[in-house]
Chain A
């Protein structure tokens, strides 16, 4: 099996991200720190078969986010993300 077969969408990390951020993150727009591509978190490439979750840029493959959960703690690395734009609910 190739790595390409294991690729999922950002949507696959929705539950985990919602637990950490306490808001719906898959509709937030992220900007890649490497190539500058912008896209909703739901459209990013997710690899979830490792002990943690790795989110990569679908354009340049750079690692954007790594998230590992252990008993009693969560470790989050966001070094590859230049920015995250969170949409407020309408009227907020």
Chain B
């Protein structure tokens, strides 16, 4: 196992999983921890690595009052073992279809969408892609350097970032909460092909999904994954 710090609050765990059957971009795993007295806590974490990458990567945001994330991000040591179920989920997945891919992420909701973008790059998928990601500050933005490189190398990929709490001087991106105008600018007009994947805290996802439908997107093309009140 390897630990890669991503932001002050998030760490990527790169894991060797014996017998891993392979996964699809967007799937998650359930991590179960069992205390010595038998008490169990379980949480779901999205897989950040693309299908076929060998080891699997989970990016975990540390929640101060969490039961599982402080252990995974702070206490775990190489060689530790814990129970992992997965990959699970067949609903919030992208298999490399050529139709346009539209992604909207709030905070660590970027993790499963990053698996899709990494997969898209790895297989040279034809699908044009647009990503709108919302983060509190630039330091909180996951995979920042990699997103820049991916977008620089690829004219069919557009990445837009909005910073909701504070933006550095000279910031040229958005600096407000995601709204209908922003969705329209980044994702373009509603199309009758391809899917929109929205992932993040529950309230973020519901607001974005409602806005997309109001903009004319077909609800059947909008796939959501809610993380709950604060995130994974």
Interface residues of A, Cβ cutoff 8 Å to B: 1, 4-12, 14-16, 18-19, 24, 26-27, 40-43, 49
Contact = CB atoms under 8 A, between A and B. Distances in A.
A15 B44 contact: yes
Contacts of A7: 202, 206, 226
A6 B229 CA distance: 6
Given A5-B202, A5-B203, A7-B202, A14 B226 contact: no
Contact of B225 (A6, A9, A27, A40): A9
16 contacts: A5-B201, A5-B203, A5-B229, A7-B226, A8-B227, A9-B224, A14-B89, A15-B88, A15-B89, A16-B30, A18-B88, A27-B90, A42-B91, A43-B91, A43-B223, A49-B228
A30 B52 CA distance: 32
Contact of A9 (B92, B201, B203, B229): B92
Interface string B22-41: 00000011100000000000
A39 B89 CA distance: 15
B229 A1 contact: yes
Given A11-B92, A15-B30, A40-B91, 17 more contacts: A4-B203, A5-B201, A8-B228, A9-B224, A11-B225, A14-B28, A14-B89, A15-B29, A15-B44, A15-B89, A18-B88, A26-B91, A27-B91, A42-B89, A42-B91, A43-B91, A43-B223
A11 B202 contact: no
Contacts of B227: 8
Contacts of A8: 202, 226-228
Given A5-B203, A19-B85, A14 B90 contact: yes
B70 interface: no
Contacts of A41: 91
A89 to B, nearest CB: 11
Contacts of B202: 4-8
- Which of B30, B44, B201, B228 is most buried by chain A, counting CB atoms within 10 A of its CB? B228
B128 interface: no
A52 B201 CA distance: 21
B86 interface: yes
B44 A12 contact: yes
A6 B30 CA distance: 18
B20 to A, nearest CB: 15
- Which of A6, A7, A16, A19 is most buried by chain B, counting CB atoms within 10 A of its CB? A7
A37 to B, nearest CB: 12
